[in-house]
Amino acid sequence: MNRILARLALAATVFAAGSASMAQNDWVELAVHNFGAPINTMWAEGELSFADDGTMVYCSARQDMAVAPGDPKDLYIATFNQETGTWNTPVNMGMPVNAAPATDVDPLRKGDDREPWITADGNTIYFKSDRLATTSPQNNNDIFITRKVNGEWTEPELMGYPISTDEGDEHCPAILQDGETLCFASRRAGGFGGSDIYCSRQDAAGNWMEPVNQGPNINTEGEEFHFSQAEDGTVYFTSSRPGGYGGMDIWGAAAEGVDSWGPPFNLGPQVNTAGADMCPALPPGQETITWFSSRADNSLGNIDIFWTSKLNVD
């Protein structure tokens, strides 16, 4: 099953020759699949993203490989093996990328590192962390960045204002298809309610400009987060807006211009369930869509990562 998953998930330049064609619809294309081992475990697995070579980063609550006992979530990385058509055994990214709990400094610093977004070249990862969380003012998490230098991941740097703020609990960073626009979720003042999705770009000097709220077709009084853009410009995101199948669903919207999106559409019952279906990501080739879910069927643990062909998106 993992071999089939990999063949569908990755572009022809990434997976081995002889992969099954997507030209005809068969049970594989029409089904929702659990990623299975070694990615999913008895513990909760969550937000994931892919580099162009198939490298996957995601987060897990697994305790057998955690950087410290009781660590809520750590970032893991799994490279893609072209010879076997599967992902290699995931590796905890370790310290300093993952932070150990520091509740003696502040009770909010639980060592929670999650929501990684790896750039297409595989050399930069944006993620959310509570390593600088403060009780007063209450700021649960901020966005950090780490870069691969000479094969090693650097000490994560805080992405300061105007990306991270003392009030916004910023999370779910993602880079759009232009390779330059950073989008993320924030509870900062002036939004529509809950977490809203904002996007920012750098000026000529390399400074991040004031983030732009992505407007009422994306944001509501509920919760919106995790923007993931396809090559055709369509964005997929998580929302608790009315009209879904459960508490959290995955929705999409077509691009209409810079910071402008068409009416949202629900991805339908193959993807969304009565459970929590969240945080879409697009593997290389973008013929499939991945997400994590608490759906009752086909689960290896608390929360697992799933995938399906885009043929199943309403």
Mean pLDDT on 186-201: 96
- Considering the entire predicted model, what is its pTM? 0.91
The pLDDT of residue 314 is: 73
Mean pLDDT on 159-177: 96
The pLDDT of residue 249 is: 97
Q: Which of 212, 188, 178, 182 is nearest to 198 (CA)?
A: 212
Q: What b-and-e string marks burial along 127-152, b requiring 16 or more CB atoms within 10 Å of the CB?
A: bbbbbbbeeeeebbbbbbbbeeeeee
Q: Is the pLDDT of residue 183 over 90?
A: yes
> Which carries the bigger pLDDT value, residue 72 or residue 247?
72
Instruction: Specify the range with the lowest mean pLDDT, choosing from 33-37, 205-209, 277-281.
Output: 33-37
Percent of the chain with pLDDT over 90: 82
Mean pLDDT on 56-63: 97
Mean pLDDT, rounded, of the chain: 90
CA atoms within 13 A on the CB side of 151: 0
Asked if 119 contacts 55 with a C-beta cutoff of 8 angstroms, the reply is no
> Which carries the bigger pLDDT value, residue 198 or residue 83?
198
Q: Tell me the two tokens of residue 142.
A: 């901020």
Q: Is the pLDDT of residue 298 over 80?
A: no
DSSP state of 310: G
CA dist 121 and 287 (Å) reads 19
The pLDDT of residue 11 is: 37
Mean pLDDT on 217-234: 97
The pLDDT of residue 3 is: 45
Q: Tell me the two tokens of residue 36.
A: 């299975």
Mean pLDDT on 261-269: 97
CA dist 244 and 124 (Å) reads 34
Mean pLDDT on 243-271: 96
Could you tell me the pLDDT band of residue 8, with boundaries at 50, 70 and 90?
very low
First to last CA, the chain: 25
Instruction: Specify the range with the lowest mean pLDDT, choosing from 16-20, 57-61, 168-172, 280-284.
Output: 16-20
Look up residue 211 and give its amino acid. Answer: P
Could you tell me the pLDDT band of residue 308, with boundaries at 50, 70 and 90?
very high
Q: Is the pLDDT of residue 202 over 60?
A: yes
For residue 172, give Cα distances in angstroms to 58, 116, 266: 12, 8, 20
Could you tell me the pLDDT band of residue 25, with boundaries at 50, 70 and 90?
low
> Where do the domains of the chain lie, and which CATH numbers do they carry?
2-312 (2.120.10.30)
The predicted-structure confidence for 98-144, as pLDDT tens digits, reads as follows 999 999 999 999 999 999 999 999 999 999 999 999 999 999 999 99
